Structure 1
Amino acid sequence: MSMTTPPGWYPDPGNPAVEHWWDGTAWTGQTRPTAHPGPRPARGKSGVLPLAVAGTVLVAAVAVAAVVLGPPGGSDDGEALAPPPSTTAPVTTPAATPTPSPSGTDSGAEDGPAVLVDQLNGITLPIPDGWEKPEHTIADVATLTTTADVPCPGDTGRFCKPGTVSSWTVSAPEGSSFKTIAEQDIVTAADRAYEADALGNRLHGGLRSHKVVASRPAVVAGRTGHLVRWQVTTGNGPGGYVQSLAFPSPSGTGAPVVVRFAFDAGPEGPPLALMDEITRGIRPIGSATGGGVGSSIGP
């Protein structure tokens, strides 16, 4: 049976609204609207359109696919096609709220080194590297200690802090000089540090003797005061150094404040120069300047 499609008007595969004239061997340039339908091209036994018709259909299909899908693998420059813009409003995550510093301390992350805040006496004390504000103290006063514990002398099986600094509010007879206040307080400071603590423990074997190594005026937090420093010997171990630093409170009351220092002697104790460094770093609360040995003398 012949597979030749007879001449006639046939639907345009790429535009159903138009018919093309098939002359029996090829499409011509003649077209007309489909309002005048004509016979459809005959199919062979295989059900396949003539080669010319089938080719036109295939070309049209490829063109449509190219428009819909775009270039293989994304855009012309090899990058993946960008997804359509989202119409959903972006979700905003609230910024984390910083956790406040514990009461009595200031981390100093923005304003400088960390300090211990003594609200009662209106001062701050610098916290040196390797020092901390302990969670628990026997006396309810602002206190700094060395971070490390060392075995107490005398093979007691207990551990001691080789460095301690604490600030106290003291009472004194009216008219007492700060030199007198410091000289009287250092006896208590030495007893608490190296004779017997507030619980009666004699962790250093008790005091044996002392020697005055410094007694001089000092300017602390912009106020004129006085310091007294002793070197002490103990029943066990290398002994140590104690200091009482007396000055008027910068809070405006003028009440006497005493900062007590106790540094163990020997290789495990803090360097003695740190006493002066901490003294220079004492400030009125809210002030970044104004204090320490060498500052101008204030009232």
Structure 2
Amino acid sequence: MSMTPPPGWYPDPHGPHLERWWDGTAWTEHRRAPEAPTGPVPPPPGGGTGRGKAVALIAAGAVLVAAIVTGAVVLGDDGDGTETRTAPTSAPPATTGPPEPTPEASTSEPSADDPAVVEDQLNGVTFPLLDGWARPQYVAQDDVVMTTDGTYDCPGGVGLCRHGLVFSRTVTENDEKSPEALAKADIKDAADEAYDRDQLGRELYGGIESHQVVKSGPVAVAGRAGYLVRWRVRTAKGPGGYVQSLVFPSSVGTEAPVLVRYVFDAGEDGPPLADMDRITKGIRPFGDADTGGGVGSSIGPSD
């Protein structure tokens, strides 16, 4: 009577540097990199008759046979490639569940996303992902394209806050197309939503006490003429922060205005204020990494 080894991973008879899945009766097409052998195994069918195995076991003992089989597996892993086997000889796996996908059979592709940018597909632009910034995760607000890393307890004693947020949305509420008019109209809402009351009506920073315009003027964004307004906001609790409303025409579709809001905490823990200008300058239309724009171009903001 011949003995058939159980389903498991065994050295591939056609590729000794790989392991191949034996389903108990035949080879499958699943392969993987070999693992270190963990113990002796029963020899496969085709490695000798049952009578020969019985004689070997009686004459040499089960321990000796196990040692020889294990040694043969180790030598086979040394890469001399001189032996072609027709049946499995390595140790069976700890579990006999479905085989894992192998690297050579995998259909997964590397991500096409550039790790240095964040895409806004609706408006056809990308944003540079600067050091200290990350793609949004577990963010309650809509239209967030990036945040600073981590959260902290809000100064008002309720909720969790972030030191920096950048939003991107399409302006659809009215027929106004002027970037200047839209930026000037949006800045107060941007300040209120960031530092006065949140969507649940909570004063995360104790409310706004005052604001000051620190920058406003035209700016080139992704090769388009835009406009920005920036406020310094002071709050009842905490250091307050900076908000900026930036509007420019989209380069796709109907060229609807794109509104980008920036919320930066002030103080030592807030992101560098220069990141506002760096992000603005790095905004690009899809597929056009060379398009210039932003602060420092021929169209620049005025104080």
User: 1: distance between equivalents of 2:103 and 2:171?
Assistant: 52
- Where relative contact order (Cα < 8 A, 6+ residues apart) is larger, the structure is 2
Aligned partner letter, 2:153: P
Which ranges of structure 1 fall in alignment gaps of 5 or more residues?
Answer: 1-81
C-alpha contact (below 8 Å) 1:219/1:295 kept by paired residues = yes
Determine the structure 1 residue equivalent to 2:269.
268
Determine the structure 1 residue equivalent to 2:47.
none
Determine the structure 2 residue equivalent to 1:192.
193
Alignment of 1:201-212 (within 5 A): 201-212=202-213
> After the TM superposition, which of the residue ranges 195-204 and 226-235 deviates more from structure 2?
195-204
Q: What is the count of residue pairs matched by the alignment? A: 205
1:209–1:99 distance in 2 versus 1, CA, 3 Å: farther
Aligned partner letter, 1:269: G
Q: Give the C-alpha shift of residue 97 in structure 1.
A: 4.3
User: 2: distance between equivalents of 1:147 and 1:235?
Assistant: 25
1:176–1:236 distance in 2 versus 1, CA, 3 Å: same
Could you tell me which of 130, 152, 155 is aligned with 2:154?
152
> After the TM superposition, which of the residue ranges 181-190 and 156-165 deviates more from structure 2?
156-165
1:203–1:99 distance in 2 versus 1, CA, 3 Å: farther
Determine the structure 1 residue equivalent to 2:131.
129
**In angstroms, what is the RMSD of aligned CA positions?**
2.6
Aligned partner letter, 2:126: T
Give the secondary structure class of the aligned counterpart of 2:180: helix
- Give 1 or 2 for the bigger CA radius of gyration: 1
User: 1: distance between equivalents of 2:243 and 2:81?
Assistant: 74
The normalised TM-score by structure 2 is 0.61
Which ranges of structure 2 fall in alignment gaps of 5 or more residues?
Answer: 1-79, 87-101
C-alpha contact (below 8 Å) 1:123/1:285 kept by paired residues = yes
Give the secondary structure class of the aligned counterpart of 2:288: coil
User: 1: distance between equivalents of 2:103 and 2:245?
Assistant: 53
Describe the superposition over 1:19-73 as per-residue Cα deviations: whole angstroms up to 9, x where unpaired. Answer: xxxxxxxxxxxxxxxxxxxxxxxxxxxxxxxxxxxxxxxxxxxxxxxxxxxxxxx
User: 2: distance between equivalents of 1:274 and 1:145?
Assistant: 12
Alignment of 1:33-72 (within 5 A): none
User: 2: distance between equivalents of 1:231 and 1:84?
Assistant: 75
Q: Give the C-alpha shift of residue 147 in structure 1.
A: 1.1
C-alpha contact (below 8 Å) 1:117/1:142 kept by paired residues = no
Determine the structure 2 residue equivalent to 1:247.
248
C-alpha contact (below 8 Å) 1:151/1:160 kept by paired residues = yes
The normalised TM-score by structure 1 is 0.62
User: 1: distance between equivalents of 2:140 and 2:160?
Assistant: 15
Q: Give the C-alpha shift of residue 253 in structure 1.
A: 1.6
Give the secondary structure class of the aligned counterpart of 2:104: coil
Could you tell me which of 101, 104, 117 is aligned with 1:94?
104
1:218 corresponds to 2:219: yes
C-alpha contact (below 8 Å) 2:144/2:165 kept by paired residues = no
Q: Give the C-alpha shift of residue 216 in structure 1.
A: 1.2
User: 2: distance between equivalents of 1:84 and 1:204?
Assistant: 74
C-alpha contact (below 8 Å) 1:242/1:263 kept by paired residues = yes
C-alpha contact (below 8 Å) 1:283/1:290 kept by paired residues = yes
Determine the structure 2 residue equivalent to 1:227.
228
C-alpha contact (below 8 Å) 1:182/1:228 kept by paired residues = yes
Could you tell me which of 120, 123, 127 is aligned with 2:122?
120
User: 2: distance between equivalents of 1:165 and 1:296?
Assistant: 24
Q: Give the C-alpha shift of residue 212 in structure 1.
A: 0.4
1:252–1:296 distance in 2 versus 1, CA, 3 Å: farther
Q: Give the C-alpha shift of residue 222 in structure 1.
A: 1.0
Describe the superposition over 1:108-147 as per-residue Cα deviations: whole angstroms up to 9, x where unpaired. Answer: 2xxxx52221111111111222222223333432421111
Q: Give the C-alpha shift of residue 252 in structure 1.
A: 3.8
